[in-house]
Chain A
Amino acid sequence: MSDPTALPLWAAILISAFLLIGSGLTLLGAIGLLKFGSFYRRLHAPTLGTTFGAGGILIASIIFSLFSQTRPFLHELLISVFVTVTTPVTLMLLSRAALFRDRTEKNEDVPPFRG
């Protein structure tokens, strides 16, 4: 990997900004996970990290690789595809399981079983 100090200043600022945005959003999501009240609310918080958070960091990585020209930015594209495909699976599994459980326990907050 080439020397990061060789980057032009504006590119370095751009990369840093995207990195900060990405990690900041992820941090925000983590705080949300801790703070929100109900399970369904909590589910939303970490998505911030897996979507925009990851996106920011990936964009930063793409810009870096464009400037350093060590490799094409195919990796980042693949990562974004995989993250987009796989993260919803986890969250869907969690939310559907919670919904099923709430329904069987006849909790007031969720809509009852159909039929």
Chain B
Amino acid sequence: MIESAILIPLVTIPFVVSLIALALPSNARNTEAWIAGITALGLFILTAMQYPAVDDGGAIRHNIEWVPQLGLNMTFRMDGFAWLFTMLITGIGFLVVIYARYYMSPEDPVPRFYAFLLAFMGSMLGVVNSGNLIQLVVFWELTSVFSFLLIGYWYHNAAARDGARMALTITALGGLCLLAGILLIGQVVGSYDLDTVLASGSMIRGHKLYVPILVLVLIGAFTKSAQFPFHVWLPNAMSAPTPVSAYLHSATMVKAGVFLMTRLWPVLAGTPEWFTIVGLAGMATLLLGAFFAIFQQDIKGLLAYSTISHLGLITLLLSLGSPLGLVAAIFHMANHATFKASLFMAAGIIDHEAGTRDMRKLGGLFSLMPVTATLAMVASAAMAGVPLLNGFLSKEMFFAEAIEHHADSILDTAAPYVAVLASAFAVTYSIRFIHGVFFGKIPADMPKHPHEPPFFMRLPAMLLVLICLVVGILPGQTIGGYLNSAAMAVLGPEMPEYSLSIWHGFNVPLLMSVLALVAGILLYGILKTYLATSEEGPPYFRELKGQRIFERVMVSVSWRWARLLESWLGTRRLQPQLRLLAFIALVAAVLAATRRGVPHPTLSLGNMDLLFTGLWAIGIICAIGAAYQAKYHRLYALILMGGAGLVTCISFIWLSAPDLALTQLVVEVVTTVLILLGLRWLPKRIEQNYDGVSLETRLRRGRDMLLAVGCGAGTAFLAYVVMVRQPPQTIADFFVENAYELGGGRNIVNVILVDFRGFDTFGEITVLGIVALTVFSLLRRFRPAPDNIDSPEQQLLQSRHTARSDESEEAETASIADEYLYMPSVIMQWLFPVIIVFAFYLFLRGHDAPGGGFVAGIAMAAAFILQYMAAGTRWVEERLRVLPVRWMGMGLLVAAATGLGAWVFGYPFLTSHAQYIELTLIGKVPAATALIFDFGIFSLVMGATVLMLIAIAHQSIRKLRAAKLPTAQENA
């Protein structure tokens, strides 16, 4: 279906626009608001147009196969329920964008704000429109990440940082539990597809894994929806900019939890376990949230606790397991989103205009800003559940459900009383908000003199309040149909009969409403004087700081326990780590060999080539010598290593692999030079007298020796076994036969590297780039051992000599290099262009003959190394700008772009195209697209090598600080 593809842009566009928003300059306040607003409004209209498809229980599905073998598909699915949420997310998102334009100060870096907001919107849309549960969890975690970024938007503020971190820790942890729960569901059902899962409710409920699944999924939902006892993050998230609060805590973030519970309601609900856990959490949250809200002095704190309480109400409704309860829950989700968003906006306006959100410092604002005051009053009346407003309707449904009998438990019996009590509290805090802020005397210490905000700042709240009113007065005509299709999407055929009218006659719910209203007003009358001066937080409970407990737990887990584990299991010394690694590898190999058995190759000396054997004898001697000398005579070791490398190189030529030989030679040269340059920075080791070595040390050395010999012999044996075994049908023949036809090159090695195995090569050059950057950043603040701090004797001598010749008449011979090494350095400088030509030659012939981007890059780097050696770091860098990081970046981009280029022509990533171009004078030149890819390799290899060179070279000209050596205690 083509129409179903509409769901893809619906979810992806916010992310794309988010990237665009991020790229705009930081003062582009209006542009940002425009593009974000147009995006949100466009998506809103787009969603509205989809309604006919989701009406009456229909659903739009769009499936993109990703790894169908594993049941992993990108599935977008929108039914009536998701549609309702999408409307809320995009609609309120649009209003929040308008509001934020006027709320955010011109000094704030708005691109970041709008980018995060849009990305958050996209994540939310992803959550509600996912048809695959894994995909849902991914978007779920994305909402956690972006809410973290949004809450911590003012990151210079410690409260914002802490709140953001807390929100992320709790919600992301919940997300992980949710993922585990979803994986279990996948195990039980055998599919992650939402439709399949929804159809197998009885199977899951009957399974022995039901309780773990339920608990894990509920932890996910409870953390997100701030249910007791995970609610602590929500009040702390109030340090976010108010538009963020208005968005996150009304329509989106916190609604994701109840959304999920509703989504999986047909699967998980209806059991005693569900009723107990969800009901208990919902009831506790409902009551505690409402109670705490009364005692908040910060307007946003009051709204935050009220949000918690309303979420508890929704959860309680969902716990009942009755279809009517579900309808009421969905209805209340929508209602709460509208009135709470407008209330947060009003709170932001008050904060913006009066300069404080503390209700003790506010009062009498009605006379100064009557429009805002009216809006806030209507919205809080909706929150309190006053008739003719939308909050009243869903609260009425809640009361009706609370008195129904659902299950024989104390929870069910308590439900009506809890409902009335919590509603009374809701009335109390609503009146407190209105009365405390808008009426009474204007306090003298109000920081600013408030007046009405700009019209467009009020407009979003105004529209929302209008919706509250319209829905409250004409529920059937306005929201009725949409609510019906949303509930039908969840319930299917079980759809109950319900009536949305305002007047149901004199019945028990109405009585309860009246009771709550009267009790709330009375309670406010009693508490009024206390609240006017009291501290933040409810009495007694205010000592019990959720944040404090959270911080304690965090410190224990992430610091104390981690340290404890580290001291048990960790060591900072490299030797034990390496020893352990080698030992485990050896044991594993021996175990594997004894279990499965290894072939016993026969060693035949008959067809031995004497010359080749001699060559290898030299190589082996060099290698052993290098290992033997490595501790005290590093220069010898390095020279011997070079010898071993040369033998390898000659072996490649011997065995007709010129390409490998060439590469090996160049790599050998460059690494030797680089290590040579680094030798000076290694800590000095003085050869000790071995006479008085204790028995313990001898034993340790003997053990290490045994381990080393065992590993070495094992590796040699394995290598031998592999070399003499009968080769199975390998892929080599394929490469030999097809290199020219498919890859367009005669050099098979190069064709394999840049074409057949191009993706591997791409990964490898990426790794090389990372290595170079790591070397560079490690050496940037490198602290050598204290005995290496002083310049070596040779360098001191040179500078003394230079200083002396400066005093004499020949002052222009600035350095010893000029005086002693004039001729060689001139020749070395002249060789620069020659080597560049050589590298270019290697590069161009690479596709057909030995050569290629890699070896050309290293040859080019050798040219730079020679320059540094000939004339010194300062001289070179005064004359030559190398910019290795740009070369590396260009290399990666070129390689990736070549690979992506294949997509344009409809081929898989990194497909290459080969052809020849006729050039005058030069003749036929191979011009496979692989050549461009090869250029990427060249550029990256050269950049990486030169970067490492520069990192080492700069050590000699920077000011050094000695490393703090570990004390004997730390070493133990």
Contact = CB atoms under 8 A, between A and B. Distances in A.
A19 to B, nearest CB: 16
B857 to A, nearest CB: 21
Contacts of B794: 101
Nearest to B794: A101
A99 interface: yes
Given A104-B797, A115-B805, A115-B808, A89 B820 contact: no
Per DSSP, are chain B's interface residues mostly helix, strand or loop, or mixed?
helix
Contacts of B820: 96-97, 99-100
A31 B911 CA distance: 56
Nearest to A90: B824
A25 B955 CA distance: 43
A85 B801 CA distance: 29
Interface in A64-115: 85-86, 88-89, 92-93, 96-97, 99-101, 104, 113, 115
Contacts of B805: 115
Contacts of A89: 823-824, 827-828
B466 interface: no
Interface in B797-838: 797, 801, 804-805, 808, 810, 816, 820-821, 823-824, 827-828, 831
Interface in A21-70: none
A86 B823 CA distance: 11
| Residue picked from A85, A88, A99, A100, most chain B C-beta under 10 Å | A100
A93 B824 contact: yes
Nearest to B823: A92
Contact of B816 (A92, A100, A115): A100
Contacts of A104: 797, 801
Contacts of B821: 92-93, 96
A88 B827 contact: yes
A39 to B, nearest CB: 16
Nearest to A92: B824
A85 B119 CA distance: 62
B801 to A, nearest CB: 8
Contacts of B828: 89
Contacts of A86: 827, 831
Interface residues on B, range: 10 to 19
A85 B824 CA distance: 10
Contact of A85 (B808, B816, B831): B831
Interface in B367-397: none
B634 to A, nearest CB: 19
| Residue picked from B804, B821, B828, most chain A C-beta under 10 Å | B821
A52 B820 CA distance: 27
A27 B317 CA distance: 97
Interface in B834-893: none
B797 A85 contact: no
Interface residues on A, range: 10 to 19
Contacts of B797: 100, 104
Contacts of B804: 115
Nearest to B809: A115
A113 B797 CA distance: 13
A89 B821 CA distance: 9
A105 B801 CA distance: 13
A74 to B, nearest CB: 13
Contacts of A115: 804-805, 808, 810
Interface in B774-815: 794, 797, 801, 804-805, 808, 810
A74 B405 CA distance: 102
A89 B801 CA distance: 23
A37 B304 CA distance: 91
A96 B824 CA distance: 10
A96 to B, nearest CB: 4
A77 to B, nearest CB: 15
Nearest to A94: B824
A89 B810 CA distance: 25
A89 B804 CA distance: 27
A99 B797 CA distance: 13
A113 B794 CA distance: 16
Contact of B827 (A85, A100, A113): A85
A75 to B, nearest CB: 13
Nearest to A105: B797
A102 to B, nearest CB: 12
B271 to A, nearest CB: 84
A16 B468 CA distance: 105
| Residue picked from B804, B820, B827, B828, most chain A C-beta under 10 Å | B820
A43 B810 CA distance: 30
A88 B827 CA distance: 9
Contacts of B827: 85-86, 88-89
Nearest to A100: B820
Nearest to B838: A82
Contacts of B801: 100, 104, 113
A59 B816 CA distance: 40
Contacts of A101: 794
Interface string B634-676: 0000000000000000000000000000000000000000000
A93 B823 CA distance: 9
Interface in B278-335: none
A85 B830 CA distance: 10
B807 to A, nearest CB: 9
A7 to B, nearest CB: 24
Nearest to A82: B834
A35 B922 CA distance: 51
Nearest to A85: B827
Nearest to A104: B797
A110 to B, nearest CB: 13
Nearest to B820: A96
Contacts of B831: 85-86
A44 B65 CA distance: 73
A86 B838 CA distance: 15
Interface string B71-96: 00000000000000000000000000
A115 B810 CA distance: 10
A86 B827 CA distance: 8
A86 B834 CA distance: 12
Nearest to B797: A104
Nearest to A101: B794
Contacts of A99: 820
A88 B824 CA distance: 8
Nearest to A91: B824
A85 to B, nearest CB: 6
Interface string B242-268: 000000000000000000000000000
Nearest to B798: A100
Contacts of A96: 820-821, 824
A60 to B, nearest CB: 19
A32 B820 CA distance: 26
A72 to B, nearest CB: 16
Contacts of A97: 820
Nearest to B816: A100
A100 B810 CA distance: 18
A104 B796 CA distance: 11
A100 to B, nearest CB: 5
B813 to A, nearest CB: 11
A99 B820 CA distance: 9
Contacts of B810: 115
A85 B794 CA distance: 28
A106 to B, nearest CB: 12
A86 B831 CA distance: 9
Contacts of A85: 827, 831
Nearest to A89: B824
Given A88-B827, A101-B794, A115-B808, 8 more contacts: A85-B827, A89-B823, A89-B824, A92-B824, A93-B824, A104-B797, A115-B804, A115-B805
8 contacts: A86-B831, A88-B824, A88-B827, A93-B821, A99-B820, A100-B801, A101-B794, A104-B801
The 7 closest A-B pairs by CB, nearest first: A96-B820, A89-B824, A92-B824, A115-B808, A93-B824, A89-B827, A104-B797
Interface of B: 794, 797, 801, 804-805, 808, 810, 816, 820-821, 823-824, 827-828, 831
